[in-house]
Amino acid sequence: MHIGTSYRLSEFLKWTRRDVYVLIVLGVVPVGAYQIGNIKWLGIPWIVVALLGTATALIIGFKNLQTYNRTWEARQIWGDIISSSRAWGTMSRDFFDNAEKSTELVYRHLAWLTALRYQLRENRTWETRSKAHNAEYSKHYAIPEMHTALETELARYLPDAERKQILASGSKATQIMSLQSRTIKGLFDSRAIGVVQFLEMQRSIKEFLLQQGRCERIKDFPYPRQ
């Protein structure tokens, strides 16, 4: 993403030069044909221009509003994940006296975050990231998910057996949450945690799955182009 305060003119011209070329041709050719070639039927009444301009302004304003709303929703989801993750780390540390299990739960949660971000980087047919102008501009920044394999990242947090099981599943992030739930159930069965702690941690897992679903909704549902 572009994190500067504004686009420089050089960046803007380089990124949009193809569209600028097309617009110049579309602007110059009809005017030249009208003025030089005396093709007067190309003239358009000002009323039509005003109506089209008004309609275009309304459509662009609506699209900008929808874009901002989706960006704000994504920011809210990210904030919820941060807060819930902090709470999960605290519960994993303080709800029972087992440093090994606490570390396992925290590291598995980090694996869930990793699997989720890789999932959100997957290509969709309607996305325009591969178009020439976007691909050219993406050279100015690095996308970690494009340079490091998911298996390599998960190896930092999960043992080999779990990692192979997760990589073989269709929804890797969901499979990780399933393992978290199974571990919590094992702690409850062994009386390492009580009913209150068990329910609270299961509620957190449910919240993580809801947040994952909200991320997937944004990723997998584009606005209709019509």
Tell me whether residue 15 is in a domain: no
Tell me whether residue 3 is in a domain: no
Tell me whether residue 51 is in a domain: yes
Q: Which domain holds residue 69?
A: 44-220
pLDDT reported for residue 55:
93
pLDDT reported for residue 222:
81
Stretch 110-122: mean pLDDT, rounded?
94
pTM of the entire structure? 0.81
Tell me whether residue 32 is in a domain: no
CB 84 within 8 A of CB 204: yes
Stretch 34-55: mean pLDDT, rounded?
88
Tell me whether residue 192 is in a domain: yes
Tell me whether residue 139 is in a domain: yes
Give the span between the Cα atoms of 173 and 6, in whole angstroms. 35
Tell me whether residue 34 is in a domain: no
Tell me whether residue 92 is in a domain: yes
- What total of structural domains would you count in the chain? 1
Please give the single-letter amino acid code of residue 20: V
CB 111 within 8 A of CB 176: yes
CB 183 within 8 A of CB 111: no
11: confidence class by pLDDT, cuts 50, 70, 90 = confident
Give the span between the Cα atoms of 71 and 59, in whole angstroms. 18
Average pLDDT of the residues of the chain? 89
Closest among 104, 102, 101, 122 to 112, alpha carbons compared = 104
pLDDT reported for residue 35:
86
Q: Which residue has the higher pLDDT, 12 or 180?
A: 180
Residue 1 has pLDDT above 60, yes or no: no
Closest among 154, 151, 158 to 105, alpha carbons compared = 158
pLDDT reported for residue 143:
80
